[in-house]
Amino acid sequence: MLDIQLLEKGFSPGKALGLFAKAHPEAGGIASFVGKVRMDEGVKALELTHYEPLTLPGMHALAEEAQARWNLDGLLIWHRVGVMRPQAPIVLVSAAARHRRDAFQAADFTMDHLKSDAWFWKRERRADGWHWIEPREQDHDDLARWR
């Protein structure tokens, strides 16, 4: 079961994870990651924009690739777009599998792709205005592990 959503409003990671776990009682393990807007460097807001004709289909293709690589019972990928404040959840990835290693690797793989190889553009608002954010070298290295 795939649960792929592009969200324009906030969400509760705890509630989402509870419902996901309930939907997959046969899973031996569930690995999850919640990404939040950082509070560092004077960030007042984060804005994520996207290219709608590619974003959701790309998220579905990514989920299908994860399912092909690992034996999963379910995969949840929720990603926010729009303007968010510090500490707001941006992304939630959760993988349910019979065995923990499949769940861990699927969640890690999915996040590495969302962070560096996705259809989102990010910019931060600080005291001196808006600044575009590019993936770091480490983000590209993390993504390269899966090739």
CATH number at residue 102: 3.90.1170.40
Name the domain count of the chain.
1
pLDDT surpassing 80 at residue 41: no
Q: For 121-133, what is each residue's pLDDT tens digit? A: 999 999 999 999 9
Q: Provide the edge-to-edge strand list for the sheet that holds 29-36.
A: 2-7, 72-80, 89-97, 29-36
pLDDT surpassing 80 at residue 73: yes
Q: For 77-123, what is each residue's pLDDT tens digit? A: 999 999 999 999 999 999 999 999 999 999 999 999 998 887 899 99
User: Whole domain around residue 101: which residue ranges?
Assistant: 2-144
What pLDDT is stored for residue 3 in this prediction?
97
What pLDDT is stored for residue 77 in this prediction?
98
Sort residue 56 into left (φ over 0), alpha (ψ -120 to 50) or beta: alpha
